[in-house]
Amino acid sequence: MNRNTMFSKMRAALLGTLLAGPAFALPATALAGNGLTTLESQYSVAETEERLVEAVEGKGLTVMAQVDHQANAKTVDMEMPATRLVIFGNPAAGTQLMKCAPTVAIDLPMKMLIWEDGDIVKVAYNTADYLVERHGIGDCAAPVQEKVGQALDGFARAATGAE
């Protein structure tokens, strides 16, 4: 079995396990108290994604990848609501965080998830405070932590229209 076939089968099995219900929606409890900030968007998933990319690039950060989970599901003959992940970063800020605690690299670059939850489009992201706590960074990241937190909040608000 070649690598692509094996990857497709693994992805199909994982998606089948995760999406084994009639609809795909994260329960509210999945988003509560785990370091995620969630906002509702005034726009479609595609427009929210476009606005997020514009906001991120407008501040000089790099969009490293955009993942269309709905399109990926279709490649294995499965359906799911529009779900996109935008991965972006700033090596200057990320490097400072990784120098404080190398394990933070597992959560970098930063990501924002955009998805349809019924008739509502939502955006979620890990807070800077959560990353600092999760990786035990402490005061080492104080100069960066506030800036990253403000940037993430600004990006999410620009993307969702909650400006």
CATH of the domain at 135: 3.30.310.70
| Structure confidence at residue 1 as a pLDDT band (50, 70, 90) | low
Tell me whether residue 13 is in a domain. Answer: no
For residue 133, what are the contacts with CB-CB under 8 A and spacing of at least 6?
35
Q: Which of these, 81, 79, 83, lies nearest to 69 by C-alpha position?
A: 83
Can you give the residue range of the structural domain that contains 129?
Answer: 39-160
Residue 138 lies in a domain: yes
Q: Is the pLDDT of residue 140 over 80?
A: yes
Asked if residue 28 belongs to a domain, the reply is no
The pLDDT of residue 15? 42
pLDDT of residue 122 exceeding 90: yes
pLDDT, position 33: 63
Average pLDDT of 35-61?
Answer: 97
9, part of any domain: no
Alpha-carbon span 69 to 67, nearest angstrom: 6
Model confidence at 142, pLDDT cuts 50, 70, 90, reads confident
pLDDT at 13: 44
pLDDT of residue 34: 85
Residue 143: what pLDDT? 83
Over residues 89-107, mean pLDDT: 93
Domain for residue 27, yes or no?
no
Domain count, the chain: 1
Q: Which tokens belong to 30?
A: 């999945």
Among candidates 82, 101, 78, which has minimal Cα distance to 22? Answer: 78
Which position has the token pair 């800077």? 128
Domain assignment present for 8? no
Query: Does residue 23 sit within a domain?
Result: no
pTM comes to 0.79
Lowest mean pLDDT among 50-64, 95-109, 135-149: 135-149
- Answer yes or no: is 32 within a domain: no
| Sheet of 110-117, strands arranged across | 36-41, 120-126, 110-117, 83-89, 62-68
pLDDT of residue 12: 45
